[in-house]
Amino acid sequence: MPTPSRVVVVPGEPGPLQLVELNLPDPGPYQVVVKQFASGICHSQLHQMHRPRTGVPQILGHESTGVVIAKGKEVTHVKEGDTVMVTWVPRDGENATRKAEMSTLTLPNGETASASCFTWADNTIADEQFVVKVPSDIKKDVTAIIGCAVMTGSGAVYHTAGVKKGQSVAVYGVGGVGLSAIAAAKVVEAYPIIAVDLDESKLDFAKKFGATHGINASQVDPIAAIQELTKNPAEVNMMGMPVAGVDFAFDCIGVRKTMEQILPSARPGVLGRSTGGTAVLVGVPGTNVEIDARDLLINEKKYIGSIGGSCRPDRDFPMFLRWYHEGDLDLDAMVTERFSIDQINEATTTLEQGKIAGRAIMEF
């Protein structure tokens, strides 16, 4: 039986987001229909909204909590009534025996829109690979951001970089993803944990999640400030200068300037003794960048990317939920704004203007 749904749509032509009413189709053999409790409002979706419109409408959103209300006959890991999270990373890609399918909606005007998942809707439908079963007693609102913000930021520290106790970390950009990276760095006992942002209030906020130092990049050169904080007179580089810089520098923004700042923020190696630090690109890039190839070579540094925090949702969501329950990941504090689906244009405008300290969610 089709399921009524209110869905946010990016129209194919320039204009504000639209809220349409339609019927979701009955689930196919490998699909799940989810009645949603809350969805994250992710900064990366601004990129999708502001790309040149091609005449094809889009449906957005990729992190949520909800309850299963229908499923296909081949779906075995969840049943009707189960509490779940919807995410954009296949839950068990390593053991998957089939390729996840896109979901396609027919809009009221006859146009179609497709996505691997979409969570800016009160009811959604997705391939079972994007639906993760979680305990029924979790909080149904703030945990919605685990499916992207937490996974991306915390996973970048925990899995992609593999930060260890006592290693130094700098995080450029302390929105929801950056705060999640800082929280993971605290969990693994990194030190120092340096937050870099343009907003003093956001730097103060980051200290609630584990940042030990804050650098306001609107007032000082963050690279020089990081090097001053991490200078080690006991070690010298090939040029005879004290080694300075962090073991891992994370860009959680994706603008050209920060993407180019993280490599010189990483410490140099010491020839014959140790390799250099690692720059980790986490934020969705909006442009190409130039990096200093000599710095990369001579100082044996690394510049790597992290998509979805290198996470596997079936494996990692239970860990993030445990961090939350044990007080290591304060999702209640991280969610700083709440909107209804009718306020979606207000929500995205507020996000674009940088007025959201942590992460915003949409509640249904």
For 145, residues 6+ apart whose C-beta sits below 8 A from its C-beta are: 40, 63, 176, 331, 334, 335, 359, 361
- Phi/psi of residue 341, nearest 5 degrees: -65, -30
Asked whether the predicted pLDDT for residue 86 surpasses 80, the reply is yes
Asked whether the predicted pLDDT for residue 241 surpasses 80, the reply is no
Tens digit of each residue's pLDDT (9 = 90 or more) over 4-44: 999 999 998 888 999 999 999 999 999 999 999 999 999 88
Cβ density class 314-340: b for 16+ within 10 Å, e for less: bebbebbbebbeeebbbbeebbbbebe
Structure token pair of residue 319 = 């860990």
For 111, residues 6+ apart whose C-beta sits below 8 A from its C-beta are: 12, 56, 57
Residues 38 and 144 sit within 8 Å (Cβ to Cβ): yes
195: β partners: 171, 214
Cβ density class 258-288: b for 16+ within 10 Å, e for less: bbbbbbbbbbbbbeeeeebbbbbbbbbbeee
92: β partners: none
Asked whether the predicted pLDDT for residue 223 surpasses 80, the reply is yes
Q: List domains and CATH numbers for the chain.
A: 3-140+334-363 (3.90.180.10), 150-308 (3.40.50.720)
Residues 56 and 35 sit within 8 Å (Cβ to Cβ): no
In 3-state terms, the chain is what percent helix, strand and coil (to 5)?
30, 30, 40
Structure token pair of residue 156 = 């970048």
The mean pLDDT value of the chain amounts to 94
Comparing CA positions, the residue from 267, 200, 283 lying closest to residue 235 is 267
At 162, the pLDDT band (50, 70, 90 cuts) reads very high
Asked whether the predicted pLDDT for residue 280 surpasses 70, the reply is yes
| Model pLDDT, residue 238 | 65
| Model pLDDT, residue 210 | 97
Name the DSSP letter for residue 157: I
Asked whether the predicted pLDDT for residue 106 surpasses 80, the reply is yes
pTM here is: 0.94
H-run or E-run covering 213: strand 213-216
